């Protein structure tokens, strides 16, 4: 019973921390890009497509790295890279720099997704893998929704820079948490 409770708590914590980073950026990113760089809606769409394309290109290789070097290490590398990318938004000088950040964020996401899914599969290895994955996804969506609301408040009341610091902190905390739980 204790082991299943620990598994449940780990899945809950990972899902919550992991989705905070995504949810905080999602709704405000287009506004940030348009305001900061006088970009167009087309620019925002191209940036997102670029990010998705990079992530798709690197996910298979990242999955292989996960198999070779371990889920925790690859996930840690991905979230720490994501934390640095979140901070990069504060200092990015132009659209070219933004494309560079999106490239690195795409690689970061590619490292994170296969490794966290492998972690979740391992947590539910017995007969309850579907339940664990369902719980992970539900918590992910709920946290992302709350984070989306929070991000709009933080961005409008305090500013984008503070939001990027919070996002970076959530991502770094997730990576550290995974390494600590491995022990």
For the chain, what is the domain count? 1
Q: What is the CATH number of the domain that holds 6?
A: 1.20.1250.20
Residues of the chain with pLDDT under 70: 1-8, 11, 124-127, 182-183
**pLDDT for the residue numbered 41:** 95
**pLDDT for the residue numbered 2:** 46
Place of tokens 């296969």: 114
SS3 letters for the chain? CHHHHHHHHHHHHHHHHHHHHHHHHCCCHHHHHHHHHCCCHHHHHHHHHHHHHHHHHHHHHHHHHHHHHCHHHHHHHHHHHHHHHHHHHHHCCCHHHHHHHHHHHHHHHHHHHHHHHHHHHHHCCCCCHHHHHHHHHHHHHHHHHHHHHHHHHHHHHCCHHHHHHHHHHHHHHHHHHHHHHHC
Give the predicted TM-score (pTM) of the model: 0.87
The parent domain of residue 131 ranges over 2-182
**pLDDT for the residue numbered 3:** 57
């Amino acid at each position: 019973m204790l082991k299943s409770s620990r598994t449940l708590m780990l899945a809950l914590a990972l899902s919550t921390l992991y989705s905070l980073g995504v949810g905080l950026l999602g709704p405000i990113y287009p506004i940030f890009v348009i305001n900061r760089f006088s970009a167009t809606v087309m620019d925002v769409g191209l940036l997102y497509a670029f990010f998705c394309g990079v992530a798709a290109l690197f996910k298979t290789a990242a999955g292989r790295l996960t198999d070779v070097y371990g889920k925790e290490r690859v996930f840690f590398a991905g979230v720490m890279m994501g934390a640095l990318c979140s901070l990069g938004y504060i200092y990015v000088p132009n659209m070219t720099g933004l494309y560079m950040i999106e490239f690195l964020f795409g690689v970061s996401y590619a490292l994170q997704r296969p490794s966290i899914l492998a972690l979740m599969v391992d947590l539910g290895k017995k007969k309850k893998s579907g339940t664990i994955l369902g719980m992970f996804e539900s918590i992910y969506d709920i946290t992302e929704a709350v984070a989306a609301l929070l991000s709009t408040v933080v961005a409008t009341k305090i500013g984008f820079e503070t939001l990027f610091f919070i996002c970076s902190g959530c991502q770094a905390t997730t990576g550290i948490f995974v390494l600590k739980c491995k022990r």
